[in-house]
Amino acid sequence: MNRFPIIALAVGSLINRRLTAGLTLFALAVSMMLVLGVEKVRNEAKASFANTISGTDLIVGARSGSVQLLLYSVFRIGNATNNISWNGYQNIARRPGVAWTVPLSLGDSHRGYKVLGTTGDYFRHYRYGKKRNLAFASGQPFDDLFDAVVGWDVAQALGYKEGDPLVVAHGLGRQGFQTHKDKPFRVSGILAKTGTAVDRTVHVSLEAIEAIHVDWKSGARVPGMAVSADQVRQMDLTPRTVTAVLVGTETRFGAFGLMRSINDYRGEPLLAILPGVALQELWDLMGTAEVALSVISVFVIVAGLLGMVTMLLAGLNERRRELAILRSVGAHPRHLFALLVSEAASLSILGAILGLALLYGVLAIAQPILDAQFGLYIEITLPNRRDLFTLGLMVTAGIVSGTFPAWRACRQALADGLVVRI
């Protein structure tokens, strides 16, 4: 018996036991699909996290920590320790090598969602993912002083549509401390889903932030002072401070020199950071989740391999006569060993092929759903070297797992297999 008849015999044996073999094959395929799927989602999630903000070369804020600056300016988590003066912002904007700037002003909220004051350049220059532009699901950017653009999650959670009224409040709680109900806003647009903090943000103009605070001081309304919405339109609404600034440079290499000069600025304590570096630092802090996904992948494939070994072992008792007959016609124990290992190899290879096909089928269905609902865009590409290495490793593990049932089969005696048990 050479190796080719053994392989043909193994395939024929599996076909003869097609029900149990098919269930085992499906379990293996699902395991391999989950391993590759978890790995792909993990890599894409990491890439998506790293691209929460893209196309922005520097983020500038009051001097604090790089992760803290990233959290409140990009993820809307936490608060700034201090603000940047308007003169400081203008100094940044006028520096050589600066292509564009987008000022950000935080501090107010609307029913638990952060309110961001900015300029129209925000909708032109802000990028997420792989330099994807912000898009409007409906409406347009703010034009009037009291226009507001809401993120997708805000609109869905609060049932907003274009033209609805909106009242901004102080504080960051669900209801805020006090509201600016004397100066209500109108929803002028709703942004399309991005899967970033933009979806959970209410955007207004910098002038609007100043307008709602003209009769406020130190976070409280000035007693006896009331400026109506009509009156405030006639006032000078130049901002006094901003929370942070997004900066785009003319060249990527110019960002390093600009960062150094801003950090050395003596007019006020400022901190300029590279978003990509800060994002990597933040991802490293959450490395436990990444390790957990890898551990889950290992347990998934172990469960699939155990299922295959269980099937082969369970089938040995039923196949004792079959194996004994093979011995009686001249099959050597090594041939029986090769037969069982060939069955395990066939199941593992077919499981890898089917698992890969299932993965691409699931990705084709899930890609638009994940992109629309969670902003996680999973690119469908041909298997890379890492995927092929993972598949090869799993197939090898499957073949090695088949050696134990094969060893057990070799130990069965010829006479034991021919005994008829009543």
Q: Is the model's pLDDT at 53 over the cut of 50?
A: yes
Amino acid at position 206, single letter: L
Q: What is the CA radius of gyration of the chain?
A: 32
Query: At 105, which helix (H) or strand (E)?
Result: strand 98-110
DSSP conformation class of 192 = P
**Least confidently predicted of 61-70, 187-196, 257-266, 291-300:** 291-300
pLDDT at 306: 80
pLDDT at 299: 81
pLDDT in tens, 310-368: 766 666 666 666 666 666 666 666 667 777 788 788 888 888 899 899 999 998 888 88
pLDDT at 4: 46
Angle CA(293)–CA(297)–CA(302) in degrees, nearest 5? 150
pLDDT over 90 percentage in the chain: 38
Q: Determine if the pTM surpasses 0.75.
A: no
Buried b / exposed e across 145-181, counting CB within 10 Å, b at 16+? bbbbbbbbbbbeebebebeeebebbbebeeebeebbe
CA distances from 283 to 42, 50, 287 (A): 12, 8, 6
Buried b / exposed e across 372-398, counting CB within 10 Å, b at 16+? eeebbbbeeeeeeeebeebbeebbeeb
Task: State how far the Cα of 120 lies from the Cα of 241, in Å rounded to an integer.
Answer: 18
Helix axes 333-374, 3-16, angle to 10 degrees: 60
Place of tokens 């292509």: 99
pLDDT at 122: 96
Q: How confident is the model at residue 38 (pLDDT cuts 50, 70, 90)?
A: confident
**Least confidently predicted of 35-44, 58-67, 72-81, 102-111:** 35-44
pLDDT in tens, 170-223: 765 554 457 788 889 999 999 998 888 899 999 999 999 999 988 877 666 777
Angle CA(201)–CA(202)–CA(205) in degrees, nearest 5? 125
